[in-house]
């Protein structure tokens, strides 16, 4: 059973949605403010979050950014009364999966939830990633460049794998530090920077003018499809 967390300070909206979606077969959790929502996200481990913007404590947009720093997999649907193209664009650029304006018919919301939960990033056929002359085989843990094997340390390969898994999307610094190293003993930005430099060199990606692995200032790194 898929789990959905509703973070909304409007008790009527939250309870009505919880009732209707529970009837659709989802296990529901509710939080009335951003701080409570963050705690429930950590403890309940939902598959999808329905997130209001105007929340007491941590607002919805900031909460979206906090979660996306270490989790690119959970689905997040912004559900707000704010009609704003600028906010919608900002939310989607911060990797919200969808943006809906209240009130939305429950049939539409169900369909958007279903689509979000179905959507997965496509890594590549049979567990491989290809772009340009680069091939990464996730199943067998090897990398080829121009059909020649390239040797990486375990940590270097893990960083490259994380970037390739989310190719075309920014991997936040914290996401890479927590997932390539350890949540109990994360790396540092300087160590990550050095590892990225080594990976670029091994892949022939000029560190002074990188095309493949690009640094997005104050955010993280992105592996571009070339």
SS (H, E, C) 187-225: CCHHHHHHHHHHHHHHCCCCCCCCCCEEEECCCEEEECC
Structure tokens that stand for 72 in this block: 């690119």
> What are the CA-CA distances from residue 14 to residues 5, 36, 42 (Å)?
10, 14, 19
> Does residue 39 sit in the same domain as residue 102?
yes
> Does residue 9 sit in the same domain as residue 114?
yes
The CATH number given to whatever domain includes residue 53 is 3.40.50.2300
> Does residue 15 sit in the same domain as residue 112?
yes
CA distance 218 to 12: 39
Confidence band of 102 (pLDDT split at 50, 70, 90): very high
- Count helices and strands (H / E) in the chain: 8, 12
Q: Is the pLDDT of residue 110 over 90?
A: yes
Beta bridge partners of 98: 77
Structure tokens that stand for 141 in this block: 């843990």
Q: Which of 25-34, 40-49, 127-136 has the lowest mean pLDDT?
A: 127-136
> Does residue 87 sit in the same domain as residue 163?
no
Q: Is the pLDDT of residue 212 over 90?
A: yes
> Does residue 86 sit in the same domain as residue 146?
no
> Does residue 12 sit in the same domain as residue 61?
yes
Give the long-range contacts of residues 79-86, CB within 8 A, separation 24 or more: 79/8, 79/50, 79/51, 79/52, 79/104, 79/109, 80/52, 80/53, 80/54, 81/54, 82/53, 82/54
Q: Is the pLDDT of residue 126 over 80?
A: no
CA distance 205 to 221: 14
What pLDDT does residue 124 have?
Answer: 44
Domain boundary among 118, 136, 167: 118
The CATH number given to whatever domain includes residue 163 is 1.10.10.10
> What are the CA-CA distances from residue 121 to residues 25, 53, 63 (Å)?
24, 26, 22
What's CA 126's distance to the chain center, in Å? 22
As for how many domains the chain has, the answer is 2
Range of the domain at 149: 125-223
> For the chain, what is the radius of gyration of the CA atoms?
19
What pLDDT does residue 185 have?
Answer: 66
Q: Is 93 helix (H, G, I), strand (E, B) or coil?
A: helix
> Does residue 114 sit in the same domain as residue 8?
yes
> Does residue 114 sit in the same domain as residue 155?
no
Bigger pLDDT: 189 or 226? 189
Q: Using a cut of 0.85, tell me whether the model's pTM lies above it.
A: no
> Does residue 129 sit in the same domain as residue 112?
no
Q: Which residues of 166-185 are buried (b: 16+ CB within 10 A; e: fewer)?
A: bbeebbbbbbbbbbbbeeee
| Other beta carbons less than 10 A from residue 219's beta carbon | 14
> Does residue 114 sit in the same domain as residue 129?
no
> Does residue 153 sit in the same domain as residue 59?
no
């Amino acid at each position: 059973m898929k789990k959905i967390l509703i973070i909304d300070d409007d008790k009527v909206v939250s309870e009505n949605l919880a009732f209707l979606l529970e009837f659709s077969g989802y296990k529901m959790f509710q939080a009335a403010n951003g701080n409570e929502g963050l705690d429930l996200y950590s403890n309940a481990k939902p598959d999808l979050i329905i997130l209001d913007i105007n929340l007491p404590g941590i607002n919805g947009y900031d909460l979206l950014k906090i979660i996306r720093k270490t989790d690119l997999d959970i689905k997040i649907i912004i559900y707000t009364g704010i009609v704003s193209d600028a906010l919608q664009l900002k939310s989607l650029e911060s990797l919200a999966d969808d943006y809906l304006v209240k009130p939305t018919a429950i049939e539409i919301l169900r369909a958007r939830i279903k689509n979000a939960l179905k959507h997965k990033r496509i890594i590549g056929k049979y567990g491989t990633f290809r772009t340009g002359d680069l091939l990464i085989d996730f199943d067998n843990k090897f990398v080829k460049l121009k059909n020649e094997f390239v040797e990486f340390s375990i940590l270097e390969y893990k960083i490259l794998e994380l970037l390739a898994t989310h190719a075309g999307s920014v991997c936040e610094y914290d996401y890479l530090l927590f997932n390539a190293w350890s949540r109990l003993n994360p790396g540092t930005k300087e160590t990550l920077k050095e590892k990225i430099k080594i990976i670029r060199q091994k892949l022939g990606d000029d560190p002074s003018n990188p095309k493949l692995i690009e640094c997005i200032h104050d955010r993280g790194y992105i592996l571009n499809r070339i």
